[in-house]
């Protein structure tokens, strides 16, 4: 792997990506980073052996630029980068809600752009990264993006029109599971269990259930039915979930997340 890759705005997800790439075979000497604070850049150098550079130097030097700044900062970053990015650079955006057209309109005509929505399990190499091509991105660009993000989990290609839905499902998805575990832990305490024991019971149950979903090939309805005995404890719990509209609330929550992603896209197009 001889291409130089630069991660711009290297926060937790950006650092997780760097770490995964190094484990996947990239040489630290071929990885560049930018950070808002000089001490953060030096921390990344000390920890991973990568090279801190300025945003302009990254744009001039790297073959692939991965932009991981917050959506509200992306316009300012592009204004800084645009004069320095040749059209043969691959630009990968990790910003929620911002369409590839936002980048293409601010960069030289023909610059390939790929949009990626990853999630925080990248920190433990279990990310779900959703990849969409811009107008000028080639098959090779997509394959290269998959290689990079495959170092921290799974990847999936979708049309860009589906990115907002993917943001709602997997981009924000880990938070829903954390929220559920939090609520179940509180329930365990209410039922008389110490917090640490309730936490351990729920976390291992979640890991086991997720593994079964991934490996069994069974539909989740079938897996749920296997646990649900007639007149048993599980069906009584599920009845209460249905009575309280949990399924409808989840659907509404995901729609709200998708709508917010669309709002972010609409806002970015006006900046």
- Which residue in 81, 155, 73 sits closest to 114, CA to CA? 155
Please name the residues in contact with 202: beta carbons below 8 A apart, sequence gap of 6 or more. Answer: 181, 184, 185, 188
N-term to C-term CA, the chain: 37
Q: Using CA atoms, how far apart are residues 96 and 217, in angstroms rounded to an integer? A: 31
Q: Using CA atoms, how far apart are residues 83 and 81, in angstroms rounded to an integer? A: 6
- Which residue in 10, 17, 82 sits closest to 41, CA to CA? 10
Per-residue pLDDT band for 263 (boundaries 50, 70, 90) equals confident
pLDDT at 170 > cutoff 80: yes
Residue owning tokens 């990310």: 127
| HSE value, Cβ hemisphere, 13 Å, CA-based, for 80 | 14
Average pLDDT of every residue of the chain: 94
Q: Reduced to 3 states, what is the DSSP secondary structure of residue 37?
A: coil
205-233 pLDDT, tens digit each: 999 999 999 999 999 999 999 999 999 99
Per-residue pLDDT band for 265 (boundaries 50, 70, 90) equals confident
Q: Using CA atoms, how far apart are residues 168 and 139, in angstroms rounded to an integer? A: 26
43-78 pLDDT, tens digit each: 999 999 999 999 999 999 999 999 999 888 999 999
pLDDT at 271 > cutoff 70: no
């Amino acid at each position: 792997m001889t291409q130089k890759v630069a991660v711009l705005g290297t926060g937790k997800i950006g650092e997780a990506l760097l770490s995964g790439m190094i484990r996947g075979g990239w040489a630290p000497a071929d990885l560049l980073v930018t950070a808002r604070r000089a001490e953060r850049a030096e921390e990344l150098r000390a920890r991973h052996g990568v090279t801190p550079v300025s945003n302009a130097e990254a744009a001039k030097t790297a073959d692939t630029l991965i932009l991981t700044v917050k959506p509200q900062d992306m316009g300012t970053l592009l204004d800084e980068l645009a004069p320095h990015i040749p059209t043969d650079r691959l630009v990968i955006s990790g910003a929620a809600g911002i369409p590839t057209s936002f980048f293409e309109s601010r960069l030289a005509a023909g610059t390939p752009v790929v949009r990626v929505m990853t999630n925080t399990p990248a920190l433990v190499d279990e990310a779900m990264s959703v990849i969409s091509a811009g107008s000028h991105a080639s098959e090779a660009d997509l394959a290269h993006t998959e290689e990079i993000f495959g170092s921290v989990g799974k990847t999936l290609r979708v049309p860009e029109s589906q990115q907002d839905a993917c943001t709602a499902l997997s981009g924000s998805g880990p938070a829903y599971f954390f929220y559920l575990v939090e609520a179940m832990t509180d329930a365990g305490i209410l039922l008389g269990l110490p917090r640490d024991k309730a936490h351990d019971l729920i976390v291992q149950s979640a890991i086991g259930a997720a593994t079964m979903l991934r490996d069994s090939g069974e539909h989740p309805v079938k897996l749920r039915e296997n646990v649900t005995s007639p007149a048993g404890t599980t069906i009584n719990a599920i009845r209460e979930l249905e009575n309280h509209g949990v399924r409808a609330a989840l659907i509404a929550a995901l729609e709200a997340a998708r709508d917010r992603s669309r709002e972010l896209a609409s806002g970015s197009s006006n900046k």
